[in-house]
A = this chain, B = another copy of it.
Amino acid sequence: MKIGALARKTGTTAETIRYYERTGLLEEPPRTAGNYRDYGPTELARLRFIRRARDLGFTMAEVRQLLSLSDDPSQSCEAVDSIASIHLREVDRKLGDLRKLRTELRHMVDDCQHGAVGECRIIEVLSG
């Protein structure tokens, strides 16, 4: 499988895959006679793993850890749980922030009387 096919199968782009390789998240795959990267099912699975984790908001560093943990199935799952739990708390924090922010924005927009900027509540709020 060439890089474009792998990209289509995983909802990424060739550029992103090469970026993952550059940063060590993916290993260098074998090459075809024409120097094209040649991927198999192992790489596909690994990239799917990475994409799922990234879509769940894990950072590249966390993905790196999760990958190396998943490589050793006999290990305790504590470290995995810890990474996921910390990330969950972080997501909760962000949700809280975003909800507060939404409330403020909502008020601002609701209070706007669509008149002149001089009396605009939005500008007023921003100006303090």
Using a CB–CB cutoff of 8 Å, the interface residues on chain A facing chain B are 45, 48-49, 52-53, 55-57, 66, 69-70, 72-78, 80-81, 84-85, 87-88, 91-92, 94-95, 98-99, 101-102, 104-106, 108-109, 112-120, 122-123, 125-128
Q: How far is the CA of A128 from the CA of B77 in the complex (A)?
A: 17
B123 close to A70 (CB less than 8 A): yes
Per CB-CB distance, the 8 closest pairs between chain A and chain B, nearest first, are A73-B118, A77-B120, A88-B105, A70-B123, A75-B117, A81-B112, A73-B117, A52-B126
Q: Which residue of B lies closest to A53 (CB)?
A: B126
A81 close to B98 (CB less than 8 A): no
A107 smallest CB distance to B (angstroms): 10
Q: Which residue of B lies closest to A97 (CB)?
A: B57
Contacts A/B (CB < 8 Å), 16 sampled: A45-B127, A45-B128, A48-B128, A52-B126, A56-B101, A66-B123, A70-B117, A73-B116, A74-B116, A74-B118, A75-B116, A76-B117, A77-B114, A81-B120, A84-B112, A91-B102
Q: How far is the CA of A69 from the CA of B53 in the complex (A)?
A: 41
Centre residue among A52, A94, A113, A126 by max chain B CB count within 10 A: A126
Contact of A77 among B69, B102, B117 (CB under 8 A): B117
